[in-house]
Structure 1
Amino acid sequence: MTNSFTISTVNVNGIRAAVKTRNENNHGMLPWLSENTPDVVLMQEIRASEAITRKALAPALDDGWHLHMTESSVKGRSGVGILSRTEPTAVRTGFGSDEFDELGRYIEADFDLGGGPVTAASLYLPSGAALTDDPKDVEKYEEKVRFLDEFGPYLDGLRDDARQVVVAGDWNIAHTERDIKNWRGNRKNSGFLPHEREWVGARIDGGWVDVARTHHGDVDGPYAWWSWRGKAFDNDSGWRIDYHLATASLADRLQRTWVDRASAYDRRWSDHAPVTAEFA
């Protein structure tokens, strides 16, 4: 019997692409699952129906993994899911939003992982846009604001529910200057706008714990997203927008966190790297 459990989060950037082996160096998501054996994997941007997702993950499901997911009403967009070694005791999709629940951006499940029940949730927060004169940018900007306005109180409720909870995923917000390599050049870009950073800060000030920041301390990164373009990956010019926020009772059990950064550009199977937290 192990003395710890691990919860990983990764934006797969399309499940069908994530499981493909593009060349002899790129092994895809399935070998990563086999080599790292996390207990729970929180996925974002599945961008496929459940039938297609189950086909893509068939080797893992045949090996005993359990899948629960939510699809987006917009075909080929969003979609979050939970892969787990044990069947959850309960699964809930959405957070009670008339606008966002049908877009497949949030799912949570309860597990018996030792030391009492643990709720693990997968989040894909809208990417948004900088506020410009372009109507499309305005629409994306306002969508993200509405999501934050609705989801913030839901998170606050989870925090106050006395459960051990971790919400992890692609938050699409770098909280501090330590969380983005080129923070000076991105001060007016979505993901690093003042109101977005303040929103994350309010959650942390309210009692949520950014477990990776707590573990790694006041250092740059570690980043988990890099653009496919240019030398961003090679230069480690990335963003830390994939992270775990845990309630204090669960954060107290943190042992370590790490980023499964690919050893080379051509070994990546997503533009995001998996981020894993291990709890006692």
Structure 2
Amino acid sequence: MKLVSWNVNGLRSCVNKGTFYEYFDHIQADIFCVQETKLQEGQINLELEGEYRQYWNYALKKGYSGTSVFSKASALSVRYGLEDETEPEGRIITLEFDSFYLVNVYTPNAKRDLSRLAYRLEWEDRFRNFVLQLDSHKPVIICGDLNVAHQEIDLKNFKGNRGNSGFTEEEREKMTLLLNSGFTDSFRYLYPDRTDAYSWWSNMPKVRDRNVGWRIDYFLVSSRLRPFIVDARIDSHVFGSDHCPVVLELEESLNPG
């Protein structure tokens, strides 16, 4: 079973560049998750090759945030938001399948001046409680832009970015707490020492060419799913966004339905 997660930083823009359809058709994912769609209902007619069910969570604010999931299997249930059924920034979609829950999430950014750090940390606590509740029923697969480089190995210039948004001690500690609560970072599980593996690059000139990046896009799984992990990778050769797709492959026995 193949799952993909990609922050496209504007789905219409990514589609117009030709990159989205090219990659989508090539990768042949069973489940394809998208963050930062940046659109409202009716603003795109996405014609996907194959039989895919489409699930969308739109932000109330136009041109902002938003998530979507495209799945070959129909979900048993769908949930938008955490405690509430509605979530104004469109940051999360949870799909229930036969053998697992899938949580597609675009975690709030603390902002450059850290003005949203307090909100971000509160979100982290709510999110952890939410996925732990799900995990008490069946295993959970979490994917998306989690807006944090967890370890020093997860960004090129860790010394210069210490304390900056996405690499504050507080954000990193929340990720550690989530993992210690029973979840596994699938990429680091397979490749604990791999360096220069990034999923996001600044738009500054030549930054991506020199691979001065951050790994902030993840597939986390309930730790009891470790034996089912076949591969986890970062498709850094794929352009069309300031992020690249990340991929998780699991044993077919976990097929969603």
- TM exceeding 0.5: yes
Say if 2:82 is the partner of 1:111.
no
Displacement of 1:204 in angstroms is 1.0
Displacement of 1:221 in angstroms is 4.5
Displacement of 1:249 in angstroms is 2.4
| 1:278 corresponds to | 249
Q: Matches of 1:243 and 1:128 in 2, distance apart? A: 18
SS of aligned partner of 1:232: coil
**Equivalent of 1:87 in 49, 70, 74:** 74
**CA-atom RMSD, angstroms?**
1.7
Q: Matches of 2:226 and 2:43 in 1, distance apart? A: 35
Distance 1:165 1:149, change over 3 A: closer
| 2:157 corresponds to | 182
Say if 2:220 is the partner of 1:249.
no
Percent identity at matched positions?
Answer: 29
Gaps of 5+ in 2: 252-257
**Equivalent of 2:27 in 29, 36, 53:** 36
Paired amino acid for 1:124: Y
Cα displacement string for residues 170-216 of structure 1 (whole angstroms, at most 9, x for unaligned residues):
00011000111111110021000001000000111121000110011
Cα displacement string for residues 196-245 of structure 1 (whole angstroms, at most 9, x for unaligned residues):
00000011112100011001122224211111212211111111100011
Query: With structure 1 as the length reference, what TM-score do the two structures score?
Result: 0.84
Deviates more, 1:85-94 or 1:163-172: 85-94
Paired amino acid for 2:78: V
| 1:69 corresponds to | 56
Q: Matches of 2:179 and 2:196 in 1, distance apart? A: 18
**Equivalent of 2:122 in 134, 140, 146:** 146
Counterparts of residues 256-271 of structure 1 (less than 5 Å):
256-262=231-237, 268-271=239-242
| 1:24 corresponds to | none
Cα displacement string for residues 13-67 of structure 1 (whole angstroms, at most 9, x for unaligned residues):
111001013xxxxx410111111101101110011113223x1x12x1x642221
Query: With structure 2 as the length reference, what TM-score do the two structures score?
Result: 0.92
Q: Matches of 2:102 and 2:226 in 1, distance apart? A: 13
| 2:4 corresponds to | 8
| 2:40 corresponds to | 49
Question: Which runs of at least 4 in structure 1 moved beyond 6 Å after TM superposition?
Answer: none
Cα displacement string for residues 68-90 of structure 1 (whole angstroms, at most 9, x for unaligned residues):
01111111111111011222222
**Equivalent of 2:108 in 115, 123, 126:** 126
| 1:134 corresponds to | none
Cα displacement string for residues 115-171 of structure 1 (whole angstroms, at most 9, x for unaligned residues):
xx222111000111255xxxxx52x22321221232222233233x14121011000
Aligned residues: 251
